[in-house]
A and B are shown apart, each in its own frame.
Chain A
Amino acid sequence: TQLLEQSPQFLSIQEGENLTVYCNSSSVFSSLQWYRQEPGEGPVLLVTVVTGGEVKKLKRLTFQFGDARKDSSLHITAAQPGDTGLYLCAGERRNFGNEKLTFGTGTRLTIIP
């Protein structure tokens, strides 16, 4: 059972456009992380959000954690070809001594020059 559903699964847009990726769950997470993965490489951490309603910005990327800490979104403004990749959200449910990340289904983003 996949606890974290990402949408859309695939997205292909023109350079300069804006986009939003969603990460939804029925479970509450103590924190949520977003990663970007290039083909043949491991995921690279972009951001961690901890507090319900928290918003973090990383240049053209804006991350938001839902108030109930069940969902998150990633918004990219003025997308560039370098943003192309697989975006993964991952939720942590803190269970002392047994913390682990549950990964979302992934969003494959392609930015067309």
Chain B
Amino acid sequence: GAVVSQHPSWVICKSGTSVKIECRSLDFQATTMFWYRQFPKQSLMLMATSNEGSKATYEQGVEKDKFLINHASLTLSTLTVTSAHPEDSSFYICSARGYRGIVTEAFFGQGTRLTVV
């Protein structure tokens, strides 16, 4: 199967600092990348969708100035949590999507556990 690599797998930062999370598709070109947030014991909540070379589309209630998404190439997207606060602590997961056959399939990164202290 396709491989999507997310880095770092965990990070601890001080309140007020910014954190960048990378998502790379290693063996296919991702037409679209997605960023999710997952709270403990809950399902995935879509934060934003990004296509290479264009601005990300954010879901309702997600602050685009706080969660900066850059999709510079077909294999790399980054999520920057700016001025992080403890309430931003969560599990962040990226997904890269490319066409395989007649449907698009999404493959997920390993996730990043962010803890803001």
Contact = CB atoms under 8 A, between A and B. Distances in A.
Q: Do A and B come from one complex?
A: yes
Chain B, interface size category, equals 20 to 34
Contact of B106 (A2, A30, A40, A101): A101
Chain A, interface size category, equals 20 to 34
Majority secondary structure, B binding face: strand
B93 A48 contact: no
Given A48-B105, A88-B43, A103-B45, 18 more contacts: A33-B106, A35-B108, A40-B111, A42-B93, A43-B93, A43-B108, A45-B1, A45-B105, A45-B107, A50-B103, A88-B44, A90-B106, A100-B34, A100-B49, A101-B106, A103-B36, A105-B43, A106-B43
Interface of A: 2, 30-31, 33, 35, 40-45, 48, 50, 88, 90, 92, 98-106, 108
30 contacts: A2-B43, A30-B103, A31-B103, A33-B105, A33-B106, A40-B91, A40-B113, A41-B110, A42-B95, A42-B109, A42-B110, A43-B108, A45-B1, A45-B105, A45-B106, A45-B107, A48-B103, A48-B105, A50-B103, A88-B44, A90-B106, A92-B103, A99-B97, A99-B104, A101-B95, A103-B43, A103-B46, A105-B43, A106-B42, A108-B41
